[in-house]
Amino acid sequence: MTDSATKGLKPKHQRLVLLSLALVALIGAGLLAAWALRNQASYFYLPSEIISEAPAPDQGVRLGGMVEMGSIAEQPDGTTIRFIVEDGTAEVPVSFTGIAPALFVEGSGVVAEGKMGADGVFVADNLLAKHDENYMPKELEGMTREQVRQQVKATLE
Amino acid sequence: MRETLDMMDFVYAAYAICLIGTLALTVWSFATMRAAEKRREESRRK
Amino acid sequence: MHGYANPARFLKIARWFTMPLLVGGLIVTAAALIWGWMSSPPDRLMGDSVKILFVHLPAAWLGMGGWTAIAIASLVELVWRHPLAAISARAVAVPGAVFAFLCLASGSIWGRPTWGTWWVWDGRLTSMLVLLFLYLGYIALTNALAREGSSSRIAAIFGLVGAINVPIINRSVVWWNSLHQPPSITMGNSAIDPVYLYPLLACVLGFSLLFGGVVFARMRAILADAQAEARLRRKAQKAELAQATPGDA
């Protein structure tokens, strides 16, 4: 901004212009930093990312995705479970020994903390359940969101 | 093995913290306002 | 706009609004929470813990909305030099911090039985914790400035710079893989079943009224404090003058 551009303005407007410019620059810088952080700031890797850029065998990582339908299998020892985490394009088998959180179910999100084994099985030492954005009573389970919306509309009308 | 926790325990805890916090905030803001306005009246009289 | 710059005029309005907002806020919040508590069935996955939504989400929105208000008031203060802007920004800080804290506390309590952990350092939780620290820093700064009687311009700049965190909190679950779920309520769209959504919106209304009442009460307190202090200082000066020149008194 040159002097001649601001000369004609009232001080009030001059402050407004300068502050707006500063604000735009600040927000731009912040968003840019956030964008640059997008990989580092992610809490977990998706199965496709883990497969394409396999972590070192002894490196602790987090794997997150959906628990594949029908994939949870309890092992004979009673405390180990095996299941498959998928993200729509890739899937990774996971083995976990311990107590799973209450929301750990098939078809729902999960974050597994552990290491990638040499045999391609992810060995988790901790499981976290990830909830999705849908809040739905038990009775409406199995209905799609569109069906629910229609039923609600019908009861309201 | 899946964890079996009583969800209601956590619901009570969350509500207790939020209700106490909200009520304390309301009472504190009201009390400090009354005290400050009283002090202003006193400074006017003296 | 400068019509409300006069504190006397503002006080007249504030006096009228404070009690109805505080009492109305308490009543609406209580009614909405009872409504939500009684009417909400267990969630398909989260079970009874879904009830925590009714306190968690209003607290989160008000925590973020509070800093948005601080940023707007700071801008008004810096550009228009409106005398009430600094006071309103200061008045929002404490309720904003309290709700940011309640959001974190209720979220943590909610996370344990559902996710299986009290806390994780994912984008959403971390940026929300940053917001709480920003509030605490802002409160400390404004108190220090007021005590020294210095200009609140530094606080206003802090309020504006800190605002960058608000869109980061909002977008964190979209930009980064996080344990926290993506937003349930977006522009004109809700993934929350109406059986939860309507009481939830009532809770948001109730807590917001309460928030407004607290902000008015805080503004009145800050104004009254400043006026009382100014008057006492003037009196002290007058007394000093009278002592220095006894003959004139």
Query: Structural domain boundaries of chain A?
Result: 3-36, 47-130
Q: What's the mean per-residue pLDDT of chain C?
A: 91
What's the number of CA atoms in the CB half-sphere (13 Å) around residue C38? 6
Can you tell me the distance from the alpha carbon of A132 to that of C114, in angstroms, rounded to the nearest whole number? Answer: 12
CA distance B18 to chain A (A): 21
Residue B19: closest C-alpha in chain C: C55
pLDDT at residue C63, rounded to an integer: 97
Nearest to C74 by CA among C8, C146, C179, C156: C156
Indicate the residue of A27, A130, A139 with minimum beta-carbon distance to C181: A130
pLDDT confidence band for A1 (50 / 70 / 90): very low
Please check the confidence at residue C74 and state whether its pLDDT lies above 90.
yes
Residues A25-54, mean pLDDT to the nearest whole number:
80
Length of chain B: 46
Residue A2 binned pLDDT confidence (cut-offs 50, 70, 90): very low
Residue A3 confidence (pLDDT) above 60: no
Query: Touching check for A20 and chain B: CB below 8 Å?
Result: no
CA of C240: how far to CAs of A80, C124, C233, C243, in Å? 82, 56, 11, 5
Residue A37 reports pLDDT greater than 50? yes
Task: Say whether residue B29 is in contact with chain C using an 8 A CB cutoff.
Answer: yes
Mutate: best of B26, B39, B44, B45, partner C, most C CBs <10 A: B26
Confidence band, pLDDT 50/70/90 cuts, at residue A157 = very low
Question: Would you call A102 an interface residue with chain B, using a CB distance cutoff of 8 Å?
Answer: yes
pLDDT digits (tens, 9 = 90+) for A46-68: 998 888 887 877 788 999 999 98
**pLDDT category, C176, cuts 50, 70, 90?**
confident
How far apart, in whole angstroms, are the C-alpha atoms of residue B26 and residue A30?
A: 35
C214 → closest Cβ in B7, B29, B46: B29
* Burial of C12: CB neighbours in 10 Å, binned 0-12, 13-18, 19+: exposed
Give me the residue from A12, A38, A137 closest to C44, CB to CB: A137
Among chain C residues, the shortest Cα distance to B24 is held by: C98
When pLDDT is averaged across residues C35-64 and rounded to a whole number, the result is 94
Query: C80-127 pLDDT, tens per residue?
Result: 888 899 999 999 999 999 999 999 999 999 999 999 999 998 889 999
CB pairs under 8 A between B and C: 106
CB–CB contact A132 C181 (8 Å): yes
In the predicted structure, residue A139 carries a pLDDT above the cut 80: no
B3 neighbourhood in chain A, CB within 8 Å: 99-102
A118 versus C79: which is more confidently predicted?
C79
Ranges of each domain in chain C: 2-177+197-224
Q: Which of the residues A133, A150, A151, A152 would you substitute to probe the C interface, choosing the one with the greatest number of C C-beta atoms within 10 Å?
A: A133
Q: Averaged over C48-54, what is the pLDDT?
A: 94
Tally of CB atoms within 10 A around A98: 13
B30 touches chain C (CB under 8 A): yes
Lowest mean pLDDT among A143-157, C55-69, C227-241: A143-157
CB C56, CB B14: distance < 8 Å: yes
> A95-111, pLDDT tens digit by residue?
999 899 988 988 889 99
Decide which of A25 and B39 is more confident.
B39
Write out pLDDT tens, residues C178-233: 899 988 888 778 888 889 999 999 999 999 999 999 999 999 999 999 889 888 88
Phi, psi of B25 (to 5 degrees): -60, -45
A33 band by pLDDT with thresholds 50, 70 and 90: confident
Give the pLDDT of residue C249.
Answer: 44
What pLDDT was estimated at residue C189? 80
List of residues 6+ apart from B15 with CB closer than 8 A: C33, C51, C52, C55
Q: Which two tokens mark A62? A: 């987090």
CA angle C147, C149, C154 (to 5 degrees): 95
Element (H, E) at B40: helix B7-45
- A44 touches C: beta carbon within 8 Å: yes
Mean pLDDT, residues C7-20: 89
Whether C241 has a pLDDT exceeding 60, the answer reads yes
CB-CB under 8 Å, C232 with B43: yes
Give the model's pLDDT for residue B46.
Answer: 66
Residues of chain B under the 70 pLDDT cut: 46
Q: Measured between beta carbons, which residues in chain B are less than 8 angstroms from residue A78?
A: 1
Q: Give kind and range of the element (H or E) at residue A61.
A: strand A61-67
ipTM, 2 dp: 0.94
The CATH superfamily holding the domain A47-130 is: Nucleic acid-binding proteins (2.40.50.140)
CA B15 vs. chain centroid, Å, equals 12
For strands A61-67 and A91-97, give the pairing. unpaired
What is the pLDDT of chain A when averaged over all its residues?
80
Work out the pLDDT band at A142, boundaries 50, 70, 90. low
Tell me how close the Cα of A4 comes to any Cα of chain B, in angstroms.
49
Round to whole Å and give the CA distance between C142 and C154. 9
